Structure 1
Amino acid sequence: MEIEFPTSGLGSVPGDGEGGIEMTGSMQLIREFCDQLVEPEKITRTRIFFPEANEVKFARKSAFEGASLKLDYLTKPSFFEDFGFVEKVKMTDRVKPEDELFLVAYPYFNVNEMIVVEELYKDAVVNTDRKLIIFNGELDRIRSGYYPSFFYPKLAALTKTLFPKMETVYYIHNFKGMKGGTLFRCYPGPWKVLRRLGNRYVTLHQQETMPSLKEVALNILPSA
């Protein structure tokens, strides 16, 4: 499952806030999400994967201080961290038999993170009753071809392997400008393109499948 919305404010777009601040905001929202929606008896069966080990240390001292939720990581620093290289973590070594829910927190800082997420899905979710939720993973970067497939073939392959198996349960993406608007979905409803008029939103377009951001920006919003 996918949950995606801007953390700098519901009217903001990716990049409006500084990266570290947006991640910290997502961390706090994940804690609130778990407090409200994870049943008390399943708290210790919920494992939250942060992008890397240092983020787990920060979480334990801030938003998740005192929490019984299991905190884990997708990658850990390596000797070449300053050059963008991290050491991937073998998911079968991290998952425990009693785990029921995996929540992956903002896996977009390093390209290896989403590749590890797919490994988690294959190794620990497929053919089980476990659930996997990706929270603010900025998956649109991969969907839109932001990472050229020639240089990132494994990342590009996710659009054909992992993504078709995922359900987007809550999604907000804003478009700024004179003809701006919002692409919105709340499961099980359809995908909607909205525009704010005063204190309310009106629906300009809706469909059952997710339109590309390019289609919304260049075709749907300008023609409405």
Structure 2
Amino acid sequence: MALSYTTTIASSLLHAATPSLPNKKSFWIEKEALFRIASKLTVPRNGRSSSVEFDVPFPRDYEELLDQAKKATELAWEDNKQLMEIEFPTAGLESVPGDGEGGIEMTGSMQLIREFCDRFVSPEKTTRTRIFFPEANEVKFARQSAFEGSSLKLDYLTKPSFFEDFGFVEKVKMTDRVKPEDELFLVAYPYFNVNEMLVVEELYKEAVVETARKLIIFNGELDRIRSGYYPSFFYPKLASLLKTLFPLMETVYYIHNFKGRNGGTLFRCYPGPWQVLRKVRNAYICLHQQEAMPSLKEVALDILPSV
């Protein structure tokens, strides 16, 4: 996706202006001014003449985040993106995975998925939208809490078994779960069990490919797979997703925070560029941006420490 001339000029100014700035205070003032220029640009979409003005600041709260994610998903849908990812922290906009207890983070994701669907899914589409939770017990909990009274179809990827503690779960055939009227699948946080993402790949291949359906992975912590958290020697099937499923996926909304002395945030809202941000006082300043998703290692070891 080509960026406009304004982006190129603004990006070059960001790097060129740094050595001549007399002090740190004026450095950040200049950066902030250039970020306002760089973030307001026209991005051609999908090689067509139509375009969208991209001017998306880092969200102030979860209400704004969900509004941004809704708009980004709508634009990706219009561009025929069939496999999409939405990823952001749930323990606070400046948090990282693990800051909150696992069950609490999942419950937070469940509530945010409901709020996202209330924004994104029109009333006439609710019965044609199927949400897959990690396992059957989660569906029961969802129906009694965040999704009580909802017409959205709730389903599951895996079914607990007596030997679950040893890594064995009952196989769920995805073609048996899907109904002909389904138009959208939303997969909720498929990361607790290593088998869940393998089932997601099966769902995509058997029920989405060569159809008009769409699939969204919501807070799947896919960076665990991207970063090698699961060694390929022990988890070859998960590692293979990097070559089979992940290249087909569009990350439409993404926030990943880096803590520490060289902290910052990797942020993306489709169809805009990937941006490395740093919070200064109460504002987020763009330090770097590019079209392709950088690796977390690249951001942590190369981009953030160099600024």
Residue aligned with 2:170, SS = strand
Question: How far off is 1:2 after superposition?
Answer: 0.2
Question: How far off is 1:79 after superposition?
Answer: 1.6
Deviations 1:169-191 (A, max 9, x none): 00000000111000000000000
Q: Which has the larger radius of gyration?
A: 2
Larger proportion of strand? 1
Among candidates 285, 292, 298, match of residue 209 of structure 1: 292
The answer as to 2:277 corresponding to 1:194 is yes
Amino acid at match of 2:203: L
- Residues 6-155 of structure 1 mapped to structure 2, 5 A cutoff: 6-155=89-238
Amino acid at match of 1:34: C
Amino acid at match of 1:148: P
Q: Is the contact between residue 88 and residue 112 of structure 1 (CA under 8 Å) also seen in structure 2?
A: no
Report how many aligned residue pairs link the two structures.
224
Residue aligned with 1:214, SS = helix
The answer as to 2:275 corresponding to 1:219 is no
Q: What is residue 246 of structure 2 aligned with on the other side?
A: 163
The answer as to 2:237 corresponding to 1:173 is no
Larger proportion of helix? 2
Question: How far off is 1:82 after superposition?
Answer: 2.0
Question: How far off is 1:155 after superposition?
Answer: 0.5
Give TM-score, length-normalised by structure 2. Answer: 0.72
Residue aligned with 1:222, SS = coil
The answer as to 2:265 corresponding to 1:182 is yes
Deviations 1:9-37 (A, max 9, x none): 10000100000000000000000001111
Question: How far off is 1:81 after superposition?
Answer: 1.1
Q: In 1, Cα distance between the equivalents of 2:191 and 2:178?
A: 21
Deviations 1:92-147 (A, max 9, x none): 00000000000000000000000000000000000111000000000000001110
Q: In 2, Cα distance between the equivalents of 1:206 and 1:88?
A: 42
Q: Is the contact between residue 88 and residue 116 of structure 1 (CA under 8 Å) also seen in structure 2?
A: no
Q: In 2, Cα distance between the equivalents of 1:27 and 1:85?
A: 24
Q: Is the contact between residue 50 and residue 71 of structure 1 (CA under 8 Å) also seen in structure 2?
A: yes
Q: In 2, Cα distance between the equivalents of 1:76 and 1:122?
A: 20
Q: In 1, Cα distance between the equivalents of 2:168 and 2:90?
A: 27
Q: What is residue 47 of structure 2 aligned with on the other side?
A: none
Question: How far off is 1:78 after superposition?
Answer: 1.1
Question: How far off is 1:87 after superposition?
Answer: 1.6
Question: How far off is 1:88 after superposition?
Answer: 2.6
Amino acid at match of 1:177: G
RMSD (CA atoms): 0.6
Q: In 1, Cα distance between the equivalents of 2:165 and 2:259?
A: 34
Question: How far off is 1:42 after superposition?
Answer: 0.4
Question: How far off is 1:83 after superposition?
Answer: 1.9
Q: In 1, Cα distance between the equivalents of 2:287 and 2:170?
A: 45
Give TM-score, length-normalised by structure 1. Answer: 0.99
Amino acid at match of 1:81: E
Q: Which runs of 5+ in 2 are unaligned?
A: 1-83
